[in-house]
């Protein structure tokens, strides 16, 4: 029975799992679970992941959730996955675990909350929260500096100075990619000072092409949708500023 | 060369690493790095962990930080560690990874921030933050419910319905143990409704005795210190209430 990957490409950990599968030629079935339609809350999906979060996989009778656990499982269970994704050598493998563990309360915590509270919340029927955005921005910028100055030290183009990407590169780069949803000036302000981070994103994209852009396509489309909404709102606001003095004379 | 464990027993992930080593008879050297004296910020420690956090290990020339990565490394590198701590079977191992990944943005995120902002901050020279405590309390209580109703489902006494503890049990139980620092009524209010969680803490304590209590002893001592301070503050407040009317008459 084929591996089933339950994913929403708008979810960055879902994208990391899909790209790992595609880049390694794994025969799998992608099952779309749309967060914007709250499909992850359905009883069918709850039976797969009681925490109602994406991604999740089913391999035969085995169910698993939490993206890092899934990435490790796929790299271990499918012999076709090249060693660099999840090195067999214990010390190299342990360093990959160290990056993955660090990620949760740093880059992921900052990036996900910043994008949610700056642009994405309305699309999910939630309010934008400026205070939460400000807190998240601090964590995000500090995390990017640490990636630039600590994790990307060394001779290679990838995390831990490696010459080939690991599942940690995939997880962290997919997280940063959601900054595509931000207003371009805001994205440049945040990512601009981190030149090594930008090169590393490009290296990861190149190492996994054409799958990287194919899986991220949904994000680029959402960006256009958000830009159009923003521009319409701005036009609306402009129009209402013009109209207000008129209506006040009525 | 002996394994070196850099730890502060007041740090819950440090305690998890120490207990794993002791419970498995690993010959190691514990090197105290006191957070209350900011020793983790020293250049000597920064050379071991550039993120300046505890715990960290040095095994020969190999340096590692992030407690989950360390627990996995120790369970893998030392043949004396029993299989149940980090199962060799891929599906069982993957489930352990799943719990460990879940932990970061759930129980750890809630418990650490709640204890810090309710009782511990002044001892570290930081202000108490009621708003942060309230946010953390929600995450903590929701996490405890999920442990009770999801992770502790099954026949065994441990997470994932297991009959013997894994490194995930150790990590999560050590996190919950810091609730010992709370006022007893507050601790009972939070832990009281979670009977399975309480039994599981006891099972983990029993499975690792006498090391569990020996390593947690510093926490029990700190609890007494905090209680004495609180009681002195209450006496001081009482005294000042008595004195105030007298001084106002002068």
**Structure tokens belonging to residue A18:** 């899909």
* A12 inside 8 A of chain B by CB: no
Question: Is the CB of residue B57 less than 8 Å from the CB of residue B3?
Answer: yes
Partner-chain contact A105 B105, CB within 8 Å? yes
Q: What is the share, in percent, of chain A residues with pLDDT greater than 70?
A: 92
Q: Is B126 helix (H, G, I), strand (E, B) or coil?
A: coil
Give yes or no for residue A229 having a pLDDT over 60.
yes
SS (H, E, C) chain A: CCEEEEECCCCHHHHHHHHHHHHCCCCEEEEECCHHHCHHHCHHHHCCCCCCCCCEEEECCEEEECHHHHHHHHHHHCCCCCHHHCCCCHHHHHHHHHHHHHHHHHHHHHHHHHHHHHHHHHHHCCCCCHHHHHHHHHHHHHHHHHHHHHHCCCCCCCHHHCCCCCHHHHHHHHHHHHHHHCCHHHHHHHHCCCHHHHHHHHHHHHHCCCHHHHHHHHHHHHHHHHHHHHHHHHHHHHHHHHHHHHHHHC
> For chain B, how long is the longest CA-to-CA vector?
78
Taking the C-alpha atoms of residue B240 and residue A220, their distance in angstroms, rounded to an integer, is 64
Taking the C-alpha atoms of residue A15 and residue A21, their distance in angstroms, rounded to an integer, is 10
Exposed (0-12), middle (13-18) or buried (19+): which is B129, by Cβ within 10 Å? middle
Provide, as residue numbers in chain B, all residues whose Cβ is less than 8 Å from the Cβ of A108.
105
Provide, as residue numbers in chain A, all residues whose Cβ is less than 8 Å from the Cβ of B91.
62
Partner-chain contact B150 A64, CB within 8 Å? no
Chain A residue whose CA is closest to B64 = A95
CB pairs under 8 A between A and B: 74
**What pLDDT, in 10s, does the model give residues A74-123?**
999 999 999 999 999 999 999 999 999 999 999 999 999 999 999 988 88
Q: What are A52's strand-pairing partners?
A: none
Provide, as residue numbers in chain A, all residues whose Cβ is less than 8 Å from the Cβ of B102.
51, 66
Of A94, A102, A104, the CB nearest to B72: A94
DSSP state of B159: G
Taking the C-alpha atoms of residue B96 and residue B161, their distance in angstroms, rounded to an integer, is 11
Q: Percentages helix, strand, coil for chain B, rounded to the nearest 5?
A: 70, 5, 25
Partner-chain contact A97 B73, CB within 8 Å? yes
Residues 120-179 of chain A whose Cβ lies under 8 A from any Cβ of chain B: 146, 150
> For chain A, how long is the longest CA-to-CA vector?
78
* A50 inside 8 A of chain B by CB: yes
Exposed (0-12), middle (13-18) or buried (19+): which is A148, by Cβ within 10 Å? middle
Give yes or no for residue A243 having a pLDDT over 70.
no
Chain B residue whose CA is closest to A61 = B91
Taking the C-alpha atoms of residue B25 and residue B5, their distance in angstroms, rounded to an integer, is 14
Of A65, A108, A146, the CB nearest to B98: A65
pLDDT at B246 (0 to 100): 38
Of B50, B102, B109, the CB nearest to A105: B109
**What pLDDT, in 10s, does the model give residues A16-72?**
999 999 999 999 999 999 998 999 999 999 999 999 999 999 999 999 999 999 999
Partner-chain contact B108 A109, CB within 8 Å? no
pLDDT tens digit at each of 250 positions of chain B: 899 999 999 999 999 999 999 999 999 999 999 998 999 999 999 999 999 999 999 999 999 999 999 999 999 999 999 999 999 999 999 999 999 999 999 999 999 999 999 998 888 888 999 999 999 999 999 999 999 999 999 999 999 999 999 999 999 999 999 999 999 999 999 999 999 999 999 999 999 999 999 999 999 998 888 777 767 766 665 555 544 433 333 3
Interface test with B, best of A74, A94, A107, A142 (most B CBs within 10 A): A94
Shortest distance, CA A139 to any CA of chain B (angstroms): 14
CA A52 vs. chain centroid, Å, equals: 18
Enter the pTM of the model. 0.92
**Structure tokens belonging to residue A173:** 């780069």
Whole-number CA gyration radius for chain B: 20
To the nearest 10 degrees (0 to 180), the angle between helices A12-23 and A167-177 is: 140
Q: Among candidates B15, B101, B79, B159, which has minimal Cα distance to A108? A: B101
DSSP state of A30: E
Contacts of A160 (CB under 8 A, 6+ apart): A92, A95, A96, A99, A151, A154, A166, A168
Partner-chain contact B98 A62, CB within 8 Å? no
């Amino acid at each position: 029975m084929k591996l089933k990957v339950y994913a929403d490409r708008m979810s960055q950990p879902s994208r990391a799992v899909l790209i790992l599968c595609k880049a390694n030629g794994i025969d799998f079935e992608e099952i779309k679970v749309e967060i914007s339609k709250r499909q992850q809350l359905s009883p069918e999906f709850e039976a797969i992941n009681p925490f109602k979060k994406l991604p999740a996989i089913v391999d035969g009778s085995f169910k698993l959730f939490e993206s890092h656990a899934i990435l490790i499982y796929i790299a271990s269970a499918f012999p076709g996955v090249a060693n660099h994704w999840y090195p067999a050598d214990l010390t190299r493998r342990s360093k990959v675990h160290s990056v993955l563990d660090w990620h949760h309360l740093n880059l992921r915590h900052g990036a996900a909350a910043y994008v949610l509270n700056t642009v994405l919340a309305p699309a999910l029927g939630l309010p934008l929260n400026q205070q939460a955005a400000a807190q998240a921005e601090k964590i995000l910028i500090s995390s990017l500096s640490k990636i630039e100055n600590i994790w990307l030290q060394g001779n290679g183009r990838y995390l831990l100075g490696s010459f080939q990407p690991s599942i940690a590169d995939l997880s962290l780069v997919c997280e940063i990619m959601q900054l595509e949803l931000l207003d371009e000036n805001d994205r440049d302000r945040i990512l601009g000072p981190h030149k090594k981070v930008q090169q590393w994103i490009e290296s990861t994209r190149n190492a996994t092409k054409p799958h990287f852009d194919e899986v991220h396509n949904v994000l680029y489309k959402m960006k256009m949708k958000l830009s159009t909404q923003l521009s319409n709102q701005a036009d609306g606001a402009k129009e209402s500023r013009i109209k207000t003095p008129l209506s006040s004379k009525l």
